[in-house]
């Protein structure tokens, strides 16, 4: 995923829509009892990653629109998936 700060508002919105869909599909995998436990776990990991990206995108869009102070998406959980 590339640097959010270098993207236009249109690109951010496009990526937000795509990320929302990926998150939705990952959540569908979590709930699909016909899938193996491993596939459902992979869905859970993807859903967490996509939700984290979604929050970053919403904050960036709010900031671009001059409403960064209104963004209620600050992370309140720990993630093991962020690259160090």
Residue 75: inside a domain: no
| Percent of the chain whose predicted confidence (pLDDT) is above 70 | 76
- The model's confidence at residue 78, banded by pLDDT at 50, 70 and 90, is low
Structural domain count, the chain: 1
Residue 84: inside a domain: no
Residue 80: inside a domain: no
Question: Which pTM value belongs to this model?
Answer: 0.73
Mean pLDDT across the stretch 43-57? 92
Residue 30: inside a domain: yes
Angle between helices 37-64 and 9-31 in degrees, nearest 10: 160
What per-residue string of b and e applies to 49-67 under the rule 16 or more CB within 10 Å gives b?
bbbbbbbbbbbbbbbbeee
Q: Which tokens is 32 given? A: 């699909």
The CA distance from 68 to 13, in Å, is 15
Residue 76: inside a domain: no
Least confident of 7-16, 18-27, 30-39, 64-73: 64-73
Residue 78: inside a domain: no
Domain that holds residue 15: 4-70
């Amino acid at each position: 995923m590339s640097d959010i700060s270098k993207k236009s508002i249109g690109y951010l919105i496009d990526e937000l829509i795509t990320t929302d869909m990926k998150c939705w599909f990952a959540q569908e995998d979590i709930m699909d009892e016909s899938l193996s436990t491993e596939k459902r776990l992979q869905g859970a990991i993807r859903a967490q990653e996509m939700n984290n990206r979604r929050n970053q995108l919403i904050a960036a869009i709010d900031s671009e629109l001059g409403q960064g102070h209104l963004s209620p998406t600050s992370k309140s959980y720990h993630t093991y998936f962020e690259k160090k």
